[in-house]
Amino acid sequence: MPIDDATPVRLEVTGTDIDEAAAHLAHVYDAELVAGPSAVPFTFRYASMGDETMSLHSSRFAGHLDGSLPPSASVIVQWLRSGTSRLDTAGDPVDMVHGVPVPLLPDRTFSFEMDDYEQRLVHLSREVVERVATEQGADVTGGLRFDLTVLPSEQSVRTWHNTVSLVSHTLRDGGAGRLLHAEMARLAAASLLEMYPQHRAPEPRAAPAHSPHVRAAVEYVHENARLPITSSSLARHLDIGLRALQEAFQRDLQTTPNAFIRQVRLDRVRQELLAADPSARTVREVAAAWGFAHLGRFAQQYAAVFGERPSDTLARS
């Protein structure tokens, strides 16, 4: 299904029967689960909203639950709000820390043990995450890789939670169109990759699909987004004709160099606004730092992409 052609759905299930709760989760995740009671009376709640591009989930289970989940088509990012959880992917156990998101690779089976837990999850389309990673200059031809042995920085975790809060607010509002939903998914993917940056695969299985000039341009833009880059200056830096660069971008990324540069800068502004202290930073300062000199034009571009004013984003940080 194309990433802009999905119908958002909402689901909520509650109950006090532990077997019915386990059966529901087993059906949702196509998993083999074993449930057992704990010292507290059993209650269960599961809710989700979204589509195949991105969906938000919450789960509360007052009991013990263990089992294994098969490979998924999505990148699943989960974090605990209470209780305990241990994940094991290919013999690498991870004891989850409250509030710290842990991404699960879409191509691996993983087992888990959880007790009296409440957790949040975000399911992201693998296609979206890989596309954003590629735009950031990562080589994902060998697949996505997340180093779970290193805790992400506090700022990147704070940015993730602020991003999820924004996405949740947008979805609950009920007025998000497909284009805005797709942009929210891209923003969530960018926040995930900020917590868990991608590294070059040691033995890529195939050559990257993008031309060398496009790969070099994407890498240069992401590394120098604060500089006054234009299509012309980018072409000169790469020693390529402007027309040839424009055609390569259209062929490989279905966009123009100028639009790509603007999107990268808008994404950076949004991430910085979400992590900023409203009492210490202003929208004008953040926008100017990323090359947006005309505040009014910037605000229009920002609202067109993200569906809200930059001042509203900053106010929620």
Could you tell me the CATH superfamily of domain 212-315?
Homeodomain-like (1.10.10.60)
Per-residue pLDDT band for 6 (boundaries 50, 70, 90) equals very low
Q: Lowest-confidence range among 84-98, 173-187, 238-252?
A: 173-187
How far apart, in whole angstroms, are the C-alpha atoms of residue 63 and residue 163?
Answer: 30
Per-residue pLDDT band for 9 (boundaries 50, 70, 90) equals low
Cβ–Cβ < 8 Å for 222, 198: no
Residue among 55, 57, 51, 72 at smallest CA distance from 3: 51
The 10s digit of each residue's pLDDT in 258-283 is: 999 999 999 999 988 888 888 888 99
More confident residue, 237 or 276: 237
The 10s digit of each residue's pLDDT in 22-81 is: 999 999 888 889 999 999 999 999 999 988 889 999 999 999 999 988 888 889 999 999
How far apart, in whole angstroms, are the C-alpha atoms of residue 148 and residue 104?
Answer: 9
The 10s digit of each residue's pLDDT in 148-157 is: 778 899 989 9
The 10s digit of each residue's pLDDT in 110-137 is: 889 999 999 999 999 988 998 888 777 7
Average pLDDT, the chain: 86
What is the structure's pLDDT at 147? 81
* Alpha carbon 186 to chain centroid, angstroms: 6
Q: Please give the model's pTM, rounded to 2 decimal places.
A: 0.63
Residue 3 reports pLDDT greater than 60:
no
Cβ–Cβ < 8 Å for 249, 256: yes
Q: Where are the domains of the chain?
A: 9-195, 212-315
Cβ–Cβ < 8 Å for 88, 45: no
Give the CATH architecture of domain 9-195. Sandwich (2.60)
